[in-house]
Structures are given as structure tokens and as C-alpha cells.
A = this chain, B = another copy of it.
Amino acid sequence: MGGQSDKWVLMVTAQTPTNIAVIKYWGKRDETLILPINDSISVTLDPDHLCTTTTVAVSPSFDQDRMWLNGKEISLLGGRFQSCLRELRSRASDFEDEKRGIKIKKADWEKLNLHIASYNNFPTAAGLASSAAGLACFVFALAKLMNLKEDHSQLSAIARQGSGSACRSLYGGFVKWIMGKEENGSDSIAVQLADEKHWDDLVIVIAVVSARQKETSSTSGMQDSCKTSMLIQHRAKEVVPKRVIQMEEAIEKRDFPSFARLACADSNQFHAVCLDTSPPIFYMNDTSHKIISCVEKWNRSEESPQVAYTFDAGPNAVMIARNRKTAALLLQRLLFHFPPHSDTDLNSYVIGDKSILQDVGVRDMKDVENLPAPPEIKDNIPAQKSKGEVSYFICTRPGRGPTVLSDSQALLNPETGLPK
């Protein structure tokens, strides 16, 4: 270790996407290694709209490990964080930068302290899988810094030990987390089924639902389900394996009707297992139910499904539309049923890829108020509007996997190793 002086700071900055499962992970067979009871499949979301950026740095001048999340220093003591760190350090390689006079031997990595700064380009508390993206980014950036020879699948097994679904954020596009069979978890890894260009018609609209109640964490929720649900084993052993095969096929063939039916059924079944838990877990609320009813009614009025929906461990709806045209029709319906409070700016109510709004023909709040009722609700029931139940919408699409950013985009100062 060392160089001409101990003043150097070596760092890597990376960006990692979030992902949304369309075949759900719920239940572990090993709590420490985070090994799941079934395979799962996810779609990676475009990091332009939802991602974590992380800078990891080492320097002989750092006297302890430190971490900042969204600019605020937080504790690095979490057991799962430490498991990942241990795994990474044990796989680190020699590093040399002759120009800067930096030389780090494999064994040195154990002694060097780390500075980590992480930033989400979306609200952390919104229930949008920030921990998955965060853990994946931490592992990916450190692997680059420490010069690991491991490929993405091997890195996914490390990220998995930090946060199960994080392993699926190591790839773009469509990703499968294979549950594996080994007791040590070595074969419980993520693999890419197809990249984001394979099916680039898809458009994703996320409704961030205003939640009032504190939610059960997914870690303790899935523990309770495994202990008490009489349905979870039947789901994991009999239902999911068939659905995984069908979903892989639907993705391969870009068969949207099958994709949508499987995604909706699997989301609902995951929430059914939560309800079958003692005490029961409710992640969806009345607003989530209304969004489902809206999509189901529309899908049924068309010849084949236009939109798939899926809900993670919270009330937010992630809707996947078959193409841009459908996404515009979806957004029209959503804005009709869930207008914002009157003092809300449309510009902050629909974020992400705002170009979809133009397709809807909506430029301001007045246009939202004048939206016509969708034709499928023309029957006797008066159209229900639920003002303020959705906090905002994010328009996005399937996206790329982790990338390394240039040092100019680092979150830490290259001289001091402290947040910029």
C-alpha cells in the first residue's frame, strides 16, 4: 500500500437501476444467506428516472468506514451491509496506478477504510425498492474499485446477501433470480433473460400512492408468511415454477397478453399469501384496489390486456403498458380517476418521461379536469374521482443495468473523500 504520499483518494462512481418483480420473491429458505423459496423474474427500470448513484472511495487517510445517504451520514453497522463488504474484500485483487503512484495489494483492502456516498434520484421513503438499487450499487461500485474479477452473476450472489432483490439490479432488461439448490447459496444468482432493447415497446407508469399506515417491512413480513401461511409452500412449489417457465416464454416472444396475465395473477397471489399470514399483512390499500379495478375493467373491455399491474410490499402500483399509445390511454384514465389536489402543479404530478403527457394531450391542470370518462365506465355507475389519493406518477420504461460514471459525477470530493 502507499505511494509517494498517503494523500491519495481512489474512487469509483456507479449508477444502478431499481427493478420491479413480475414473478414475486416472497419467503426465504435461509435468512442469513438470503436464499429464496422460489425463482423470481423482474423488469429493470430505466435509471434515468429511478436509480441509485454511489461513489465508493478508499484512502490511507480515512480513519474509519463512513457512509452518507442522500447527503446525510448514516451508520454502516447493518449486518447485511457488513456481509457484502466481507465478501467483496475477500475477493479483492491487487491494484496499481503507476501514474498516481498508488499500489494496493490484495491483503491491503482489509485495512483500508471506506467512504461511501449514495444518492437516490427518487424519494427513498416512497417504497420504490431503494434498498435493492442501493445494495446493488454498493456492491457493483466496490467490485470495480477493488478490482474484482467476478462477473455480474457472481456479483449478484454478493448483492443478494445484502438485500435479496438487489441481485436482480445487476442487469438491465429482464432478469431472473434463480433460487439455486446449494446450501452455501453459490448457485442462487441472477441471470439476464433479455436486455432492455429486446422489448422496447413497453412503457411503465408508477402510481406513488399516499400511504397513511406504517407498513410491515418485507424482511419480517416474509418471515411471518413462511411461519404461518398455509398457502405459501403450495405457491412456491406448485404455482411459481410453472409461472416462471411461462413468463420466460412470454418475455422471449414479447407476448404481452400472457405477460400481463401472469404478472397480475402473481402480484395478486403474493398479496393473497400476505393476507393468509398471521397476523395478516395488508400492503395494498383502497387506492391500490381502485387502480386494479380501473385497469381490470379496461383490460376486459378490450380484446386482450392493454396493461399489466404489479404491487410490491406497499400500496404503489407499477403498471406496464404494451406500448406508448396504450400508456397514454392509461395515463388519461389514471389522471381522470386520480386527479391531484387542486393546488398541485401538473409538472410535479407526472414526472419521469413527461413526453407521454403530450400524447395524452394534457398540458395543464385545466386539461386534467376536462378529461372525459373512459368509455368502459359508461354504465350506470357514476364515475368515481379520488382526488389526492395518488402523490404523483412516474413515467418510465425498461432500462439498462449498472454503469460506471466518470469521476466528474462522483459524490465525494476527490481530494478530501468527503461529500461534495
CA distance in complex: A238, B235 (Å): 13
The closest CB in chain B to the CB of A234 belongs to B234
Residues of B within 8 A of A265 (CB): 228, 230, 276, 278
Chain A positions 237-291 with a Cβ under 8 Å from a chain B Cβ: 238-239, 261, 264-265, 268-269, 271-273, 275-280, 282, 285-286, 289
CA distance in complex: A268, B280 (Å): 7
The closest CB in chain B to the CB of A242 belongs to B230
Q: Chain A: interface residue count, which band?
A: 20 to 34
CA distance in complex: A228, B276 (Å): 18
User: Is A381 an interface position by the 8 A CB rule?
Assistant: yes
User: Is A231 an interface position by the 8 A CB rule?
Assistant: yes
State whether A275 touches B272 (Cβ < 8 A).
yes
State whether B276 touches A269 (Cβ < 8 A).
yes
Closest 6 CB pairs of A and B: A272-B272, A272-B276, A279-B296, A272-B275, A234-B234, A268-B280
Q: Can you pick out 21 interface pairs between chain A and chain B where the beta carbons lie within 8 Å of each other?
A: A212-B384, A214-B381, A230-B239, A230-B265, A231-B234, A231-B235, A234-B234, A234-B238, A261-B278, A265-B276, A268-B280, A271-B275, A272-B273, A272-B275, A272-B276, A275-B275, A279-B292, A280-B292, A282-B289, A282-B292, A285-B286
User: Is A363 an interface position by the 8 A CB rule?
Assistant: no
Residue interface bits A295-307, CB-to-B below 8 A is 1, else 0: 0100010000000
Residues of B within 8 A of A293 (CB): 213, 279
CA distance in complex: A264, B279 (Å): 9
Residues of B within 8 A of A239 (CB): 230-231
CA distance in complex: A203, B83 (Å): 52
Chain B min CB distance to A126 (Å): 19
The closest CB in chain B to the CB of A235 belongs to B231
The closest CB in chain B to the CB of A299 belongs to B279
CA distance in complex: A264, B238 (Å): 25
State whether A230 touches B276 (Cβ < 8 A).
no
CA distance in complex: A235, B228 (Å): 14
CA distance in complex: A377, B269 (Å): 31
CA distance in complex: A230, B296 (Å): 19
State whether A230 touches B269 (Cβ < 8 A).
yes
Residues of B within 8 A of A264 (CB): 278
Residues of B within 8 A of A234 (CB): 231, 234, 238
Chain B min CB distance to A353 (Å): 28
Chain B min CB distance to A11 (Å): 39
Chain B min CB distance to A287 (Å): 9
Chain B min CB distance to A284 (Å): 8
The closest CB in chain B to the CB of A230 belongs to B239
The closest CB in chain B to the CB of A315 belongs to B286
Residues of B within 8 A of A285 (CB): 286, 289
CA distance in complex: A212, B290 (Å): 11
Chain A positions 198-246 with a Cβ under 8 Å from a chain B Cβ: 212-214, 228, 230-231, 234-235, 238-239
- For A214, A230, A234, the residue with the greatest tally of chain B CB atoms inside 10 Å of its CB is A230
CA distance in complex: A177, B381 (Å): 37
Residues of B within 8 A of A272 (CB): 231, 272-273, 275-276
Chain B min CB distance to A121 (Å): 30
Contact of A279 among B212, B213, B214, B300 (CB under 8 A): B300
Residues of B within 8 A of A286 (CB): 285-286
Residues of B within 8 A of A230 (CB): 235, 238-239, 265, 269
CA distance in complex: A276, B282 (Å): 14
Residues of B within 8 A of A261 (CB): 278
The closest CB in chain B to the CB of A276 belongs to B272
Chain B min CB distance to A27 (Å): 15
CA distance in complex: A256, B235 (Å): 31
Chain B min CB distance to A3 (Å): 50
CA distance in complex: A142, B291 (Å): 47
